[in-house]
């Protein structure tokens, strides 16, 4: 098989591939056009952050089986295009975590003690001892945004050096933060206003892009920003201005919105902004780890074995797949609805199987339910990595099975919960493959899980449904179908509406203001062509 490597990786990874009989071509300076030509007869492509693997690349690469990312971040790889073209994308999520964490610690100290600036003054002949008065990290507060693998390792290290740790990460549990002696806060603002040093460890996603801009930097007044995660999360001109104007004491930046950085990047001109050229993962040990791990993933793909770090490929036993396939989609959708109905963070997920499905191999179905739960929250989540994500976030996952399924052949219920509340969404398949939601939070309903939906909790009295319908109608939201589920006549009811379009926030507010309505939730499912 042919392997193309377009960013430098450690020799150990190349040797592993060559020793297994594969042809490895190393081309580190390809233009975009040359890359399109080079991938034509390639079976595996190995990259780091320096290669943009676009849809064009996937479309040009007819024989491509796998893209191996010798590192963590895959924002340079079009995962949707990979999936569309049936190409596995696998990263090496563990091998450079400690290197990235150590670099973050080094950058924190370098900024706090102005080490690069002092070095530069001394090496140009000036003994500028009186010019540098640094900050200690001891007894200061470290704000960590993104408490995954790297964020946790940084917290461990700086926590042991006397820092208090405050974490903002909406997708981890309080228990997980507590294990690291960290205080989990509910908003970015709370994290920023408490922090003396802010360190960022999220991926670059639509949600995190420009997450730290002018207003957020002002909330960190008098502090330092360290970014060894991804460029684009911090607004670069705003950061340069904040440091220049003395709103912040300094910043230490390893990653940039455009790499390699051009000479007109505003961060390069500010005395108290120190920079490194994306060196977080550049240690001998980390590079050897990620190169070997990536080569192993490529070899597994070549052998048709499970690719354990695949980000986009479901692992399926071919013979049992046809019977469980429709439940995979149902569980995913039930999970997506449950998490959108839940107020607050998800700390536990229960997937219950009743009837025929309880006798099947349902690992992939449970994984799909988790994928649905994480869908609105996570980057790169799929049925392969969702269980691992749950584990890393300290989210408890319980599977239960029972043979009895009321009047149905099979039922799958996904319940997302936390200490205060839980929401269960139960689905079945009509005629073997037509998904229906038949119970929400204990209420019997009959809803087609598709596109735009509104779920309302209301009193069971004349006129309420009419009021909801006319309020939606006045806002030009067309109702495609509705179901009213109630426990007792005149008690509480739960009504579900399938809609042709999105419900504006103002309409939800108007509904919520009505005394007969206890609450509404607009749900958007990504399984439809809304
Ligand atoms: N400078 C370098 O050379 C290196 C950079 N990295 C980068 O570091 C970053 C972190 O990597 P890992 O810790 O392995 O990732 P991870 O996936 O283990 O952790 C990311 C965390 O960010 C959280 N998160 C997602 N969206 C968020 C939001 N909107 N607000 C707050 N938190 C949010 C997630 O819940 C998760 O806990 C990635 O961007 C990665 O590419 C990693 C290694 C080396
Ligand atoms: O692993 C990551 O996410 C990194 O940012 C490391 O990038 P690199 O492999 O050094 O180009």
Question: With a 6 A CB cut-off, is 167 part of the ligand 1 pocket?
Answer: no
Query: 529: pLDDT confidence band, cut at 50, 70 and 90?
Result: very low
- 282 alpha carbon, closest ligand: 2
Check residues 521 and 529 and name the one with the higher pLDDT: 521
Protein residue with its CA nearest to atom 38 in ligand 1: 203
Protein residue with its CA nearest to atom 43 in ligand 1: 100
Average pLDDT over residues 310-336: 79
48, 71, 73, 294, best to mutate for ligand 1 pocket (most atoms within 8 Å of CB) = 73
Protein residue with its CA nearest to atom 16 in ligand 1: 148
Atom of ligand 1 nearest to the CA of 147: 37
93, 145, 182, 203, best to mutate for ligand 1 pocket (most atoms within 8 Å of CB) = 203
**Cα-flanking dihedrals φ and ψ of residue 523, to 5°?**
-120, 135
Residues 6+ apart with CB under 8 A from 308: 90, 297, 300
Tell me if residue 278 is catalytic. yes
From first CA to last CA, the distance across the chain in angstroms is 42
- Catalytic choice (69, 98, 103, 230): 230
Residue 530, pLDDT > 60, answer no
Check residues 81 and 277 and name the one with the higher pLDDT: 277
Name the residue with tokens 């046809």. Answer: 322
Atom of ligand 2 nearest to the CA of 70: 9
Beta-bridged to residue 417, according to DSSP, are: 348, 422
CB 72, CB 91: distance < 8 Å: yes
Q: What is the DSSP letter of 508?
A: H
Mean pLDDT of the chain: 93
93, 96, 277, best to mutate for ligand 2 pocket (most atoms within 8 Å of CB) = 96
Query: 433: pLDDT confidence band, cut at 50, 70 and 90?
Result: confident
Atom of ligand 1 nearest to the CA of 171: 35
Protein residue with its CA nearest to atom 9 in ligand 2: 48
Query: 431: pLDDT confidence band, cut at 50, 70 and 90?
Result: confident
CB 525, CB 339: distance < 8 Å: no
- 149 alpha carbon, closest ligand: 1
User: How many percent of the chain have pLDDT more than 70?
Assistant: 96
Q: Quick count: other Cβ atoms within 10 Å of Cβ 141?
A: 17
- 210 alpha carbon, closest ligand: 1
Question: With a 6 A CB cut-off, is 503 part of the ligand 1 pocket?
Answer: no
Question: With a 6 A CB cut-off, is 148 part of the ligand 1 pocket?
Answer: yes
Q: Distance, CA 71 to ligand 2 centroid (Å)?
A: 5
- Catalytic choice (207, 259, 288, 502): 259
Instruction: Encode pLDDT of 370-410 as tens digits.
Output: 989 988 766 567 666 688 788 878 999 999 999 988 889 99
Instruction: Encode pLDDT of 69-87 as tens digits.
Output: 999 999 999 998 887 777 8
Residue 104: both structure tokens together: 């973050």
Residue 168, pLDDT > 60, answer yes
CA-to-CA distance for 416 and 487, rounded, in angstroms? 22
Q: Distance, CA 150 to ligand 1 centroid (Å)?
A: 7
Q: What is the DSSP letter of 504?
A: P
Residue 132: both structure tokens together: 């540098």
The H-assigned helical ranges of 162-204 are 174-179, 188-194
Q: Picking from 102-106, 187-191, 290-294, 492-496, which range would have the lowest pLDDT averaged per residue?
A: 492-496
CB 76, CB 35: distance < 8 Å: no
Residue 417: both structure tokens together: 């919960």
Q: Picking from 75-79, 168-172, 405-409, 433-437, which range would have the lowest pLDDT averaged per residue?
A: 405-409
What CATH class does 2-93+285-302 carry? Answer: alpha beta
Q: Quick count: other Cβ atoms within 10 Å of Cβ 105?
A: 18
Per-residue model confidence (pLDDT) at position 381: 72
Residues of the chain with CATH 3.30.1330.90: 321-524
**CB contact burial 25-50 (16+ within 10 A = b; e otherwise):** eeeeeeeeeebbebbeebbbbbbbbe
CB 199, CB 154: distance < 8 Å: yes
Beta-bridged to residue 165, according to DSSP, are: 142, 182
Tell me the fold of 97-275: Rossmann fold (3.40.50)
Question: With a 6 A CB cut-off, is 202 part of the ligand 1 pocket?
Answer: yes
Q: Would you tell me the crossing angle of helices 11-19 and 284-303 to the nearest 10 degrees?
A: 20
Strand, coil or helix: 405: coil
Pairing mode of beta strands 348-355, 410-417? antiparallel
Q: Distance, CA 196 to ligand 1 centroid (Å)?
A: 21
Q: Picking from 208-222, 258-272, 333-347, which range would have the lowest pLDDT averaged per residue?
A: 333-347
Tell me if residue 259 is catalytic. yes
CB 87, CB 58: distance < 8 Å: yes
Per-residue model confidence (pLDDT) at position 474: 95
Atom of ligand 1 nearest to the CA of 73: 41
CA-to-CA distance for 503 and 471, rounded, in angstroms? 10
Residue 407: both structure tokens together: 């009047």
Q: Report CA Rg, the chain.
A: 26
Beta-bridged to residue 484, according to DSSP, are: 495
Q: Quick count: other Cβ atoms within 10 Å of Cβ 326?
A: 17
Pairing mode of beta strands 434-440, 182-184? unpaired
Longest dimension (CA), the chain: 88
Q: What is the DSSP letter of 310?
A: B
Task: Name the nearest CA neighbour of 108 among 144, 149, 72.
Answer: 144
Per-residue model confidence (pLDDT) at position 316: 52
Residue 366: both structure tokens together: 């449970």
**Ligand 2 pocket, Cβ-based, cut-off 6 angstroms:** 48-50, 71-73, 96, 278, 280-282
User: How many percent of the chain have pLDDT more than 90?
Assistant: 81
Tell me if residue 52 is catalytic. no
Residue 195: both structure tokens together: 């922090």
Residue 165: both structure tokens together: 């740790």
Residues of the chain with CATH 3.40.50.720: 2-93+285-302, 97-275
- 390 alpha carbon, closest ligand: 1
Superfamily of domain 321-524: D-3-phosphoglycerate dehydrogenase; domain 3 (3.30.1330.90)
Q: What is the DSSP letter of 501?
A: S
């Amino acid at each position: 098989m042919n392997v193309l490597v377009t960013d430098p990786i450690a020799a150990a990874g190349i040797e592993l591939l060559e020793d297994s009989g594969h042809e490895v071509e190393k081309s580190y300076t390809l233009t975009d056009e040359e890359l399109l030509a080079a991938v034509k007869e390639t079976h595996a492509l190995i990259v780091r952050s320096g290669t943009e693997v676009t849809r064009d690349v996937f479309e040009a690469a007819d024989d491509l089986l796998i893209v191996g990312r010798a590192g963590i971040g895959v924002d340079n790889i079009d995962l949707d295009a990979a999936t569309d073209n049936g190409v596995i994308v696998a990263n090496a999520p563990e091998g450079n975590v400690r290197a990235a964490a150590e670099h973050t610690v080094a950058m924190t100290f370098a900024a706090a003690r102005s080490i690069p600036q002092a070095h530069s003054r001394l090496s140009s002949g000036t003994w500028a001892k009186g010019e540098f008065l640094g900050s200690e990290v001891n007894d200061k507060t470290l704000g960590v945004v993104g408490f995954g693998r790297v964020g946790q390792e940084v917290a461990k290290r700086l926590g042991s050096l006397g820092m208090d740790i405050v974490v903002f990460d909406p997708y981890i549990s309080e228990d997980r933060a507590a294990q690291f002696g960290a205080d989990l806060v509910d908003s970015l603002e709370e994290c920023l206003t408490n922090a003396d040093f802010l360190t960022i460890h999220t991926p670059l996603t639509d949600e995190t892009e420009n997450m730290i801009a002018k207003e957020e930097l002002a909330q960190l007044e008098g502090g330092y920003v360290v970014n060894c995660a991804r460029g684009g999360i911090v607004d670069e001109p705003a950061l340069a201005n904040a440091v220049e104007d003395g709103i912040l004491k300094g910043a230490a930046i390893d990653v940039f919105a455009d790499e390699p950085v051009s000479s007109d990047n505003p961060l390069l001109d500010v005395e108290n902004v120190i920079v490194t050229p994306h060196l977080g993962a550049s240690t001998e040990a980390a590079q050897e780890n990620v190169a070997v791990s990536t080569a192993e993933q490529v070899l597994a793909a070549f052998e048709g074995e499970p690719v354990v770090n695949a980000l986009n490929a479901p692992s399926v036993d071919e013979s049992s797949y046809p019977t469980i396939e429709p439940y995979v989609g149902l569980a995913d959708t039930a999970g997506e609805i449950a998490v959108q109905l839940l107020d607050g963070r998800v700390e536990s997920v229960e997937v219950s199987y009743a009837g025929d499905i309880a006798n099947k191999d349902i690992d992939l179905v449970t994984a799909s339910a988790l994928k649905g739960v994480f869908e609105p929250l996570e980057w790169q989540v799929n049925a392969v990595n969702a269980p691992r994500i749950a584990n890393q976030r300290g989210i408890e996952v319980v599977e239960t099975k029972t043979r009895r399924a009321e009047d149905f052949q099979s039922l799958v219920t996904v319940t997302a919960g936390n200490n205060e509340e839980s929401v269960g969404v139960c689905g079945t398949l009509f005629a073997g493959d037509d998904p229906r939601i038949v119970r929400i939070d204990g209420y019997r309903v009959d809803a087609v899980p598709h596109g735009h939906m509104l779920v309302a909790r209301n009193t069971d009295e004349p006129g309420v449904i009419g009021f909801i319908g006319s309020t939606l109608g006045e806002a030009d939201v067309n109702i495609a179908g509705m179901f009213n589920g109630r426990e007792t006549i005149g008690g509480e009811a739960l009504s579900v509406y399938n809609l042709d379009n999105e419900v504006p926030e103002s309409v939800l507010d108007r509904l919520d203001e009505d005394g007969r309505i206890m609450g509404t939730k607009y749900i958007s499912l990504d399984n439809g062509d809304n």
